[in-house]
Chain A
Amino acid sequence: MTSTEPEQALSTDVLVIGGGPAGTWAAIKAAQAGADVVLADKGYTGASGATASVGTGIWYVDDVPELREAAMASREALGGFLADRDWMARVLDETHARMDELARTQRYPFPVDVHGRQLRGDLQGPEYMRRQRTRVQRLGVRILDHTPALELLTDADGVISGARALDRTTGETVRIEAGAVVLAAGGCAFKSKTLGCDVNTGDGALLAVEAGAQLSGMEFSNAYAIAPKGTSLTKTAYYSWATFYRADGSLLEGAASKGGRSAIARTLLTESVYARFDRATPDEQRAMRKGQPNTFLVFDRLGIDPFTDLFEITLLAEGTVRGTGGVRIAGRDCSTDVPGLYAAGDTATRELICGGFTGGGSHNAAWAASSGSWAGRGAAAFATGRGRPGRAVRPVGTAGLRPTGAVNLGHREVVTAVQREVLPYDRNYLRHADRLEPALRSLHETWSAVREGLGASGEELFRAREAAAMVAHGRWMYHAALQRTESRGMHKRADRLAQDPAQHHRLLTGGLDEVWSRPEAVQRQLVASGGRAA
C-alpha cells in the first residue's frame, strides 16, 4: 500500500460502483437528472456479473389490481412475513416503467404473443446488458472497465465522497472524488463457480460497513443452485421438470428442485446424485431450448441429452447473490445509514420485497432495475445539493489494504480458508448451531490473521480486498444465522425447526473486528433521505 507516485484523480457528481443491471440503471437515472456520472466495474459493464451471462425472469406484472395483489401475496409466507407491501407495490410499478423504457429506448427485442403483445416476463442477460451499456454511453457517462473499487472516501463529517479504485489494465490506482456514491457491486457467491459470479465477492458490503453502514438479512444467505457436476451451469429453473436418482438408478425419495433441494444436499454429503428432465413433454422440451439457450449450450457440448440421459449434479453456493441479505436500506431513495451512500441490486438487502426467501431470478431482477433507478436519482439529488467534496477527504479501507503487522498472508490461502467454512452443505445449507459455531470461530480467526497480515501491491491489491470481503461476509452470515434461533424463510436450522413468533423481525448486522447482530426496531421509520442528516 505504500505509493510514492501521485494517484490519477477524477472528480464527478455521482460515482456508481458496479455495472450490472442495478448499476447501469443507476447511471442512466443519475445522468438523466443532470449529474456528471462515472461508472466503474471490476470487469466489463455489459458482460460482468450475475445477469449478463444468464437468462432471467423478471417480476413484471401487468397493472391490474388483482394480478398485483396475487403476485404480492404469493411469497409472503415463504419469506417469513418479513417483506413490505409498500415496497413490493413500488417495485412492481417501477419495474413496469423500466421494462417499458427498455423496450422503447434501448429497443430490447421482447418476444411477442399471437396478439402482437410483448411478453416482458423474461430477459436474456447478454442482450439486456449490452443494450444497457450502449444507453449508459449515449448519456455521456464515463465508463471505467476493469476498475475494481478498493475503498470508499469520506469527508470530515463522514459523508461519502468517492472511492479509490484499481485500473487493472495498468496496475495503478485511481482516486475518484464524488458528491455521492451508489454501491451496485452485486452480492457474494464466494467464487463457487456459479454462472458469471466469480466477480461477486461481496465487495459492496465491505465498502459499506467500513464507512459505517449496517446490513440486514445476512442470515438469508444459504442459497444453493443445481448444476451438472463440473460445470458453472446453475440454471435451476428447469429442474422443475427433473426427477432425481441415486447412482444405481433408483429414485431419490423426497428430492425436488422446489421443496426438496435439502434432500439433495443431504444425499450429496455421502453419495452422487443424478437428474434427468424426464417430466417435460415434447412441446415443453422445444420451449425449454428456446427459453434458455445457454442451458443447452452446456448439455450439447457435454454430449448429454438431459431429457433422456441421467447426468450427475451438484449444488453450488450462491450466498447473497440468490439469498436476500445485504446493505440496509434506510430511505425510499435507497439511501443507506451513511449520508451520501446509496445501495442497489444484490449489494442491498432484498428483504423489502422477498422477506427471508430467495430473491433468485425474477425478484432480484425487478429489484435491480427499481433500486438502481431510485439510487441513481437519489444520489444525483444528494450530489447536486451538496456539491463536490471539500479537501479533507480520506480513504476508510481496512483489511487487505492496511495490514496492522508484517505481510505474511496471501489472498489465495484466505479464499481457501473461507470456502472451507461457507461452501459445505452441512455448514451453510443444512444449518445447526453445532456446526455454525465452530465455522464462525474459524472465520473470526481468519479475519484476525487477515487484519494483521494480508496485503498486496499492484494489480493484486483487488484480490486481497476480494478475499477480505469474503471473510467479512462469511462472519456476518453466520453471526446472523446463530442469532436467529428459529427457522424462517430460507434460513432453516436443524436444531430450531419451528418459526418463532417472537422473532418476527429483521436482523441487522455489522461490525468489522467485532461483529454484532440485533433485531431491527419493529416500527421502522423509512425517511426520505439517509438516516443521519448530511
Chain B
Amino acid sequence: MIEIVDPDRCIACDQCIEVCPTRVFDRGPDGVPVIARQDSCQTCFQCEAYCPTDALFVAPLVTAVAPGSRFRDVTELEDSGLLGGYRRELGWGRGRTLGARTAVGPEYPD
C-alpha cells in the first residue's frame, strides 16, 4: 500500500496522479500529490514505476502500516536501497538498461 510521497524529492509532474488505476492521489495545494484515498490503493506499484524521482514508496502489504513503521521512514528506505527498487529492476530512468531485455527466467521443472 502506498505509504510515502516525499515532498523533497517530488517535482510535481503529476505522473502518479495520472497513472494510478484507482485514483489514490489528489494534487495538493503546493502541487505535491497527497494520498487522498489510501484505502483504494491496490498495491500494484505502478505509481512507483512511473515516478521519475523515486519520491514514492509502496509498502509490500495490502493494509496500511503503523505510523512508526520503517515503511514510512524515507531515510531508512533510501539507506537500505529499497527506495526506487522497482524502477531499478525495470531499468526505467536515464542511463539504465531496460530490464525486459534481460528478463530470462529459469526453465520450469516438469
A residues contacting B by CB (< 8 A) are 42-44, 46-49, 52-53, 55, 108-111, 119, 122-124, 126-127, 145-146, 168, 193, 195-199, 230-233, 237, 240-241, 279-280, 283-284, 287-288, 290-294, 296-298, 300-302
Assess A230 versus B62: contact at CB under 8 Å? Given A44-B19, A48-B21, A283-B106. yes
Contacts of B49 in A (CB 8 A): 47, 126
Compute how far the CA of A4 lies from the CA of B69 in the bound complex, rounded to whole angstroms. Answer: 48
Contact for A300 among B59, B82, B102, CB less than 8 A: B82
Please determine whether A290 and B104 come into contact, CB atoms closer than 8 angstroms: yes
Please determine whether A47 and B109 come into contact, CB atoms closer than 8 angstroms: no
Contact for A291 among B60, B92, B104, CB less than 8 A: B104
Contacts of A145 in B (CB 8 A): 18
Compute how far the CA of A195 lies from the CA of B58 in the bound complex, rounded to whole angstroms. Answer: 13
Assess A230 versus B23: contact at CB under 8 Å? Given A55-B103, A297-B89. no
Please determine whether B42 and A301 come into contact, CB atoms closer than 8 angstroms: no
Please determine whether B22 and A280 come into contact, CB atoms closer than 8 angstroms: no
Compute how far the CA of A241 lies from the CA of B61 in the bound complex, rounded to whole angstroms. Answer: 23
Pairs of residues from A and B, 4 with the lowest C-beta to C-beta distance, nearest first: A291-B105, A43-B21, A293-B89, A198-B42
Please determine whether B100 and A298 come into contact, CB atoms closer than 8 angstroms: no
B83-100, CB under 8 A of A: which get 1 and which 0? 001100110100000111
Assess A111 versus B102: contact at CB under 8 Å? Given A193-B43, A294-B89. yes
Contacts of A43 in B (CB 8 A): 20-23
Determine the residue in chain B with the shortest Cβ distance to A291: B105
Q: Tell me, rounded to whole Å, the shortest Cβ–Cβ distance linking A425 to chain B.
A: 18
Compute how far the CA of A273 lies from the CA of B60 in the bound complex, rounded to whole angstroms. Answer: 19
Compute how far the CA of A124 lies from the CA of B102 in the bound complex, rounded to whole angstroms. Answer: 11
Determine the residue in chain B with the shortest Cβ distance to A42: B21
Compute how far the CA of A126 lies from the CA of B85 in the bound complex, rounded to whole angstroms. Answer: 15
Please determine whether B103 and A126 come into contact, CB atoms closer than 8 angstroms: no
Kindly list 7 other residue pairs between chains A and B, CB separation below 8 angstroms, not including A119-B104, A230-B63. A52-B44, A109-B98, A122-B103, A287-B105, A291-B106, A296-B89, A297-B60
Q: Tell me, rounded to whole Å, the shortest Cβ–Cβ distance linking A45 to chain B.
A: 10
Please determine whether B44 and A53 come into contact, CB atoms closer than 8 angstroms: yes
Interface majority SS (helix, strand, loop, mixed), chain B: loop
Contacts of B105 in A (CB 8 A): 122, 287-288, 290-292
Determine the residue in chain A with the shortest Cβ distance to B89: A293
Q: Tell me, rounded to whole Å, the shortest Cβ–Cβ distance linking A159 to chain B.
A: 31
Interface majority SS (helix, strand, loop, mixed), chain A: loop
Which positions 40-88 of chain B face chain A at CB distance < 8 Å? 40, 42-46, 49-50, 59-63, 71, 82, 85-86
Compute how far the CA of A369 lies from the CA of B22 in the bound complex, rounded to whole angstroms. Answer: 24
Assess A111 versus B100: contact at CB under 8 Å? Given A240-B108, A291-B106. yes
Compute how far the CA of A136 lies from the CA of B18 in the bound complex, rounded to whole angstroms. Answer: 17
Contacts of B61 in A (CB 8 A): 230-231
Contacts of A111 in B (CB 8 A): 100-104
Please determine whether A124 and B90 come into contact, CB atoms closer than 8 angstroms: yes
Compute how far the CA of A240 lies from the CA of B18 in the bound complex, rounded to whole angstroms. Answer: 37
Compute how far the CA of A48 lies from the CA of B47 in the bound complex, rounded to whole angstroms. Answer: 11
Please determine whether A284 and B106 come into contact, CB atoms closer than 8 angstroms: yes
Q: Tell me, rounded to whole Å, the shortest Cβ–Cβ distance linking B40 to chain A.
A: 8
24 A-B pairs (CB sep. < 8 Å)? A44-B18, A47-B50, A48-B21, A109-B101, A111-B100, A111-B101, A122-B103, A122-B104, A127-B98, A145-B18, A193-B62, A198-B21, A198-B40, A232-B44, A232-B62, A287-B105, A290-B105, A291-B106, A292-B105, A294-B45, A296-B89, A300-B82, A301-B60, A301-B82
Contact for A199 among B21, B71, B106, CB less than 8 A: B21
Assess A127 versus B46: contact at CB under 8 Å? Given A49-B21, A199-B22, A240-B109. no
Contacts of A193 in B (CB 8 A): 42-43, 62
B1-33, CB under 8 A of A: which get 1 and which 0? 000000000000000001111110000000000
Please determine whether A232 and B43 come into contact, CB atoms closer than 8 angstroms: yes
Q: Tell me, rounded to whole Å, the shortest Cβ–Cβ distance linking A523 to chain B.
A: 37
Name which of B22, B44, B101 has the most chain A CB atoms within 10 A of its CB. B44
Please determine whether B103 and A53 come into contact, CB atoms closer than 8 angstroms: no
Compute how far the CA of A288 lies from the CA of B108 in the bound complex, rounded to whole angstroms. Answer: 10
Q: Tell me, rounded to whole Å, the shortest Cβ–Cβ distance linking A145 to chain B.
A: 7
Q: Tell me, rounded to whole Å, the shortest Cβ–Cβ distance linking B110 to chain A.
A: 9
Please determine whether B86 and A293 come into contact, CB atoms closer than 8 angstroms: yes
Contacts of A230 in B (CB 8 A): 61-63
Please determine whether A53 and B104 come into contact, CB atoms closer than 8 angstroms: no
Please determine whether A196 and B109 come into contact, CB atoms closer than 8 angstroms: no
Contacts of A44 in B (CB 8 A): 18-21, 46
Please determine whether B102 and A290 come into contact, CB atoms closer than 8 angstroms: yes
Contacts of B102 in A (CB 8 A): 111, 290
Please determine whether B45 and A297 come into contact, CB atoms closer than 8 angstroms: yes
Contacts of B40 in A (CB 8 A): 198
Assess A293 versus B90: contact at CB under 8 Å? Given A122-B103, A302-B60. yes
Name which of B49, B99, B104, B106 has the most chain A CB atoms within 10 A of its CB. B106
Determine the residue in chain B with the shortest Cβ distance to A52: B46
Please determine whether B60 and A231 come into contact, CB atoms closer than 8 angstroms: yes
Q: Tell me, rounded to whole Å, the shortest Cβ–Cβ distance linking B12 to chain A.
A: 17
Contacts of A284 in B (CB 8 A): 106
Assess A297 versus B85: contact at CB under 8 Å? Given A109-B100, A124-B100, A230-B62. yes
Compute how far the CA of A287 lies from the CA of B104 in the bound complex, rounded to whole angstroms. Answer: 6
Contacts of B21 in A (CB 8 A): 42-44, 47-49, 52, 196, 198-199
Q: Tell me, rounded to whole Å, the shortest Cβ–Cβ distance linking A298 to chain B.
A: 4
